[in-house]
Amino acid sequence: DAKTTQPNSMESNEEEPVHLPCNHSTISGTDYIHWYRQLPSQGPEYVIHGLTSNVNNRMASLAIAEDRKSSTLILHRATLRDAAVYYCILSPLIQGAQKLVFGQGTRLTINP
Amino acid sequence: EADIYQTPRYLVIGTGKKITLECSQTMGHDKMYWYQQDPGMELHLIHYSYGVNSTEKGDLSSESTVSRIRTEHFPLTLESARPSHTSQYLCASNRGQTQYFGPGTRLLVL
């Protein structure tokens, strides 16, 4: 499985944008880039995913480098509720079960 | 909002007891998963299912077993609980690219 590398922790202030980086230099052509987050005492929650083009949804934006070896999750205006562990995960186009491999993720702290 | 449920949310039980952790989803998803997460650690896939009557072992070896008799139901069983089974167990399902997770069951085996 292709691996991802994320900083262990990041800190930001409320109402400011947050850029969460992820390196995936061994990504294959069929790997989708997924982001999930896990709030304290909860199960993971889907945030966004993409393949080649940048993606936007109501939660966040995903910026994917042209060579696809890195990506950045962007929270446009962080709130205290965004404090969580964010996971960047590669998963190939589903032909069977989607076996997500979670790493350590980035623990995001939001300061009031 | 995902409709995937797990019961119980918390369970404290003695060594040697048989336990079943329940997971159900109302989205009609064929694929379902069980992950195990020790406190402060990564999630690891322990079981998954492609659909009714299909079960497969995940990447992390587990002494638990699963069954899939109905699409919406994917219970996990431990025949004889041990302290080493103390962990959080998370159930998920998916269709397409998004996995939906339940709230998890925190298990403490004394």
* pLDDT, tens digit, 9 for 90 and up, residues A48-98: 999 999 999 999 999 999 999 999 999 999 999 999 999 999 987 666 778
Q: Please give the mean pLDDT across all residues of chain A.
A: 92
Q: Which of B94, B72, B87 is nearest to A89 (CA)?
A: B94
Binned at pLDDT 50, 70 and 90, residue A101 comes out as: confident
**Mind telling me how many Å the CA of A27 is from chain B's nearest CA?**
17
**A102 touching chain B per CB within 8 A:** yes
A45–B101 C-beta distance less than 8 A: yes
In A, minimum Cα distance to B57 occurs at A99
Q: Under an 8 Å CB criterion, which residues of B touch A? A: 31, 33, 35, 42-45, 48-50, 56, 58-59, 90, 92, 94, 96-104
A46–B98 C-beta distance less than 8 A: yes
pLDDT value of residue B60: 85
B33–A32 C-beta distance less than 8 A: no
**A58 touching chain B per CB within 8 A:** no
In chain B (110 residues long), the average pLDDT of successive 10-residue segments reads 88 96 95 94 93 91 93 96 96 90 96
A6 phi-psi bin (left φ>0, alpha ψ -120 to 50, beta other) = beta
Q: Could you give the CA distance from residue A5 to residue B33 in angstroms, rounded to a whole number?
A: 24
Cβ pairs A/B, distance under 8 A:
53
Q: What is the DSSP letter of A82?
A: G
Q: In this model, does residue A1 exceed pLDDT 80?
A: no
B97–A91 C-beta distance less than 8 A: yes
pLDDT value of residue B1: 56
Q: Computed from CA positions of residues B37, B41, B45, B46, in that sequence, does the dihedral angle turn out positive or negative?
A: negative
